[in-house]
Amino acid sequence: MKSRTKVVVIGGGIAGCSTLYHLTQEGWSDVVLVERNELTSGTTWHSAAQVTNFGMNQTMVGLKTHSINLYKELSEDPEYPINYHHGDGGIRLANTEAQMQGYRHFASMARGMNVHFEVIDAAECARRHPLISTDNLIGGLWDPLDGDIDPAQLCQALARRARKAGAEVYRNTPVTGLIQHQDDTWTVQTDKGDIDCDIVVNACGYRVNEVGAMMGVHHPVASMEHQYFLTEEIPAIKDARHRMPLIRCPISDYYCRQEKHGLLVGFYEQDCKTWGMDGIDHNFVNALCPDDLDRVTDVLEGAFARMPALMEVGIHTIVNGPITYTIDGAPLVGPIPGKRNAFCIIGLRAGLGEGGGHGWLLAQQIVHGEACYDTWCLDPRRFTGHANVELTALKAIEDYQNEFRFHFPHEHRPAGRPAKTTPLTPLLAAEGADFTVVNGWERADYFKPDPEFRHTPSFHFDEAFDVVGAEVRAVQQAVGLCEVNGFNRLEITGADRQRFLDRLVCGAVTKRDGRVGLGYLLNHHGRIKAEATIANLPASDRGPHRVWYGSAAASEFHDMDWLQQHIQQGEHVQIRSLTNDQTILVLAGPKARDVLATCARGDWSNEGFPWLSLRECFVGFAPATVMRVSFSGELAYEIHVPNASLYAAYLALRQAGEAHGLKLFGARAVESMRMEKGFLHWKADLITEFDPYETGLSRFVKLEKGDFVGKDALIARKAKGPQRRLVTLQLDCDHAPAHAGASVMLGDRVVGTVTSGAWGYRVGMNLAYAFVAPELAENGNQMQMDLCGDIVQARVIPPSPYDPGFEIIKS
């Protein structure tokens, strides 16, 4: 066994084998996989092993397409062919028009990845799968490339190819400890000796937290018991001249696929149960949980109704084994938060079908620092301090119970609520707030006009449309107040703080005390990594000279990791998080200055406190730091308040606002207003696939300044010219907003992809942002957009249709 290698991958299921293979494909052959037993002895061996192209976003579709192409190549390898039923086809059923709307959106989204789904009616579903009934059925989504694969053969084939490329695999080699050294390298301790390495990868399936504990971390992954059975032969299948398509049924919470001349039928019952919460038996290897068909009686009855042939055939085998879930159901693939040279590929509840793509994206991140797609939907840092085992289990149960029911826009499911709150949460609830969730924080989405008001989650505009419009009008015409909790706030101190930030930001960095600026951080490929508000606080009784680095709530762990990793040896820089200590109250509208002046001493005039100014003060008697910045396009102030004083500041502002008609507004109103102003959203419009020139942010780039992270790569990208350009589109449509991922078309050709969409109430426009082919980015160009199957006209317009000269913000 080697004593030194570049990477050690821990775990020999699909996650580990795929990662090992793809590391060799990216050019690293000095890599090792260690497995405590035999390959595929965990969840992988009992997987139902379905391989679909369906995904909730383009990154997921792209990695699944990679899996399908890889598996097809492996199945056709003359030296080591594997069993892969490729292209049997699959149908996701629907019994509501709302579900069909969603399927049309996913078909539009997938088309941008050159994946072609088909939305079909009930009769066509039955024609393609003659064993199903059309009772209570409207239609479905057809995936022509759906299929299934042999799990053990797949993993062995990947391991075989990795070995041929120079990798080594050590079976029956349990890891007993992990030690990280001062230079961030690792020692992996095993019962057969130690292996020193640069990088460690946790690919340990349901034993993920046993290895996580060895490096002092906990991963938000929980296991659920999952049952399926294999039937005896079904004559209709035996006599058919083709393999039966796969079925996934959100109506009755089951799936099935052909297995020899019978069916494999799996269940996502409501009476489900977690597994291994109090530890896992060391000897649980190639093992299953006890059969428990009584638990699936409710969904079994639905499966019988949908597929009557099941009532006439015996059960051959029952399988009940653990599968892993995360808080949102998507895997954790990428850097481990707070650690260096440590990665994970875990929580793969559909591991066999997706694992080829997950390993591909992870290997790119390890070798190149970034993948070809933005991987935020998989990033382990998208969950932060609230992600404990109890919350994970609650969300795992909820996801399991809704396995085939996708999330609708503005749908906020109840499990694990509320995870993070402020002193204002119950007050806002009493005011009628309908809450959304941002990184676990309960944030007001809009305010209900009466206690009985409800919106119906939909891909079309819902019942809250006019309610949100009224909030926007209140901000535009008078003054509004909004709580923005969870905003990522990092305090940077030390003599080298400005030089440190100047090296990370691609543009000018504000250095004057009492001033605020906006900056963009790039990765080493010259593409956008982060967006930050940079505020310089003067020395006072509240602290020394310091910088507040503010960014999106979801970026809390992501940005901290990036900043910490770039502090150079000997550099005098300290970073601490204030994210959970302070909350922002946004005061916006033409009367905002009057309200603030009523409850806070000081000169708040335009001359005394101009745009992009910062001041420490008191709101009432609550200590506050006020920044004159605006995400709404109106005169606005961000009032940053310690949580201990938040209630007092809120009361002072509400009382001061009574004379000026102050109204509360929520996140939906903010989303509408920021799109009217051309302001971008991190991980919606600001992603690692594009550089600042492509994203329309050239004004924030200063190539003439000194060196900064990504500068050389950005210069090279600029010389090549843009691959895409972000544009603002006006849609000729008033019944639905554009949704992220929707395809922008020119005739039958996909020429772009939507990143954000919302109705602009102040300009009376249906707005969307989209990355499109550069030649189509000029103002006035006409295109079409596929909105849930409706082809609507779209026209490129200048960014910031509301107050394009920024006169209101600066007034």
Report the C-alpha gap between 676 and 729 in whole angstroms. 11
Report the C-alpha gap between 119 and 17 in whole angstroms. 35
Give the per-residue pLDDT at 792. Answer: 98
Report the C-alpha gap between 249 and 239 in whole angstroms. 24
* Average pLDDT rounded to a whole number, residues 664-673: 98
* Average pLDDT rounded to a whole number, residues 597-625: 98
Angle between helices 151-164 and 14-25 (to 10 degrees): 30
Tens of pLDDT, residues 459-486: 999 999 999 999 999 999 999 999 999 9
Residue spans of beta strands (DSSP E) within 538-679: 546-551, 574-577, 582-588, 614-619, 622-627, 636-642, 663-664
Q: Which residues contact 12 (CB under 8 A, 6 or more apart)?
A: 33, 34, 35, 37, 38, 39, 40, 41, 42, 155, 159, 169, 171
490 closest CA partner among 532, 542, 428: 532
Determine what percent of the chain is predicted with pLDDT higher than 90. Answer: 99
Tens of pLDDT, residues 134-148: 999 999 999 999 999
Q: Tokens 């939907």 correspond to what residue?
A: 377
52 closest CA partner among 148, 128, 126, 119: 148
Asked if 268 contacts 253 with a C-beta cutoff of 8 angstroms, the reply is yes
Give the per-residue pLDDT at 617. Answer: 98
For residues 277-296, one letter each, b for 16 or more C-beta atoms within 10 angstroms of the residue's C-beta and e for the rest, the string is eeebeeebeeeebeeeeebb
Give the per-residue pLDDT at 351. Answer: 84
* Average pLDDT rounded to a whole number, residues 571-584: 97
SS3 445: strand
Question: Does pTM top 0.85 for this prediction?
Answer: yes
Which residues share a beta bridge with 586? 482, 638
Q: Give the pair of three-digit tokens for residue 12.
A: 């020999």
Q: What is the DSSP letter of 540?
A: B
Q: What is the DSSP letter of 632?
A: S
Angle between helices 592-599 and 646-657 (to 10 degrees): 120
Asked if 626 contacts 600 with a C-beta cutoff of 8 angstroms, the reply is yes
Side chain identity, residue 564? Q
Report the C-alpha gap between 476 and 458 in whole angstroms. 27
Residue spans of beta strands (DSSP E) within 40-95: 50-51, 84-85, 90-94
Handedness of CA 34, 39, 43, 47 (dihedral sign): positive
pLDDT-derived band of residue 241, with 50, 70 and 90 as boundaries? confident
Q: Tokens 């909790």 correspond to what residue?
A: 485
Give the per-residue pLDDT at 311. Answer: 95
* Average pLDDT rounded to a whole number, residues 136-161: 97
Q: Which residues contact 800 (CB under 8 A, 6 or more apart)?
A: 633, 676, 677, 678, 728, 806
183 closest CA partner among 338, 32, 340, 28: 340
* Average pLDDT rounded to a whole number, residues 121-128: 98
Cis peptide before 418 (omega within 30 of 0): yes
Cα of 670 vs its chain's centroid, Å: 20
Tens of pLDDT, residues 337-370: 999 999 999 999 988 999 999 999 999 999 999 9
Q: Tokens 């006209």 correspond to what residue?
A: 793
Give the per-residue pLDDT at 703. Answer: 98
* Average pLDDT rounded to a whole number, residues 295-302: 93
Q: Classify strands 749-760 and 743-746 as parallel, antiparallel or unpaired.
A: antiparallel
Asked if 290 contacts 320 with a C-beta cutoff of 8 angstroms, the reply is yes
Give the per-residue pLDDT at 788. Answer: 96
Please calculate the CA angle 136-141-145 and round it to the nearest 5 degrees: 140
Please calculate the CA angle 429-430-435 and round it to the nearest 5 degrees: 15
Report the C-alpha gap between 386 and 214 in whole angstroms. 21
How far apart, in Å, do the first and last CA atoms of the chain sit? Answer: 70
Residue by residue, what is the 3-state secondary structure of 487-525? Answer: CEEEEEECCCHHHHHHHHECCCCCCCCCEEEEEEEECCC
As a whole number of angstroms, the longest Cα–Cα distance in the chain is: 86
Instruction: Mark residue 41 as left, alpha or beta (left: phi above 0; alpha: psi -120 to 50; beta: remaining).
Output: alpha
Q: Nearest 5°: phi and psi at 309?
A: -60, -25
Q: Give the pair of three-digit tokens for residue 795.
A: 């026209």
Q: Give the pair of three-digit tokens for residue 243.
A: 């393999």
SS3 351: helix
Count other C-beta atoms under 10 Å from residue 452's C-beta.
6
pLDDT-derived band of residue 424, with 50, 70 and 90 as boundaries? very high
Tens of pLDDT, residues 217-232: 999 999 999 999 999 9
Count other C-beta atoms under 10 Å from residue 779's C-beta.
11
Long-range contact list for 408-416, CB < 8 A, 24+ apart?
Answer: 408/98, 408/102, 408/457, 408/458, 408/459, 409/457, 409/458, 409/459, 409/737, 409/739, 410/436, 410/445, 410/455, 410/457, 410/462, 410/464, 410/668, 411/457, 412/436, 412/437, 412/445, 416/327, 416/391
219 closest CA partner among 36, 382, 15: 382
Asked if 202 contacts 208 with a C-beta cutoff of 8 angstroms, the reply is yes
Average pLDDT value for the chain? 97
Asked if 91 contacts 142 with a C-beta cutoff of 8 angstroms, the reply is yes
353 closest CA partner among 255, 269, 260: 255
Give the per-residue pLDDT at 483. Answer: 98
Q: How far is CA 464 from CA 5, 235, 291, in A?
A: 57, 52, 46
Report the C-alpha gap between 703 and 683 in whole angstroms. 24
pLDDT at 505 over 90: yes
Q: Give the pair of three-digit tokens for residue 249.
A: 């049924």
Report the C-alpha gap between 9 and 506 in whole angstroms. 35
Tens of pLDDT, residues 68-111: 999 999 999 999 999 999 999 999 999 999 999 999 999 999 99
Determine what percent of the chain is predicted with pLDDT higher than 70. Answer: 100
SS3 785: strand
769 closest CA partner among 672, 669, 678, 694: 678
676 closest CA partner among 759, 754, 732: 759
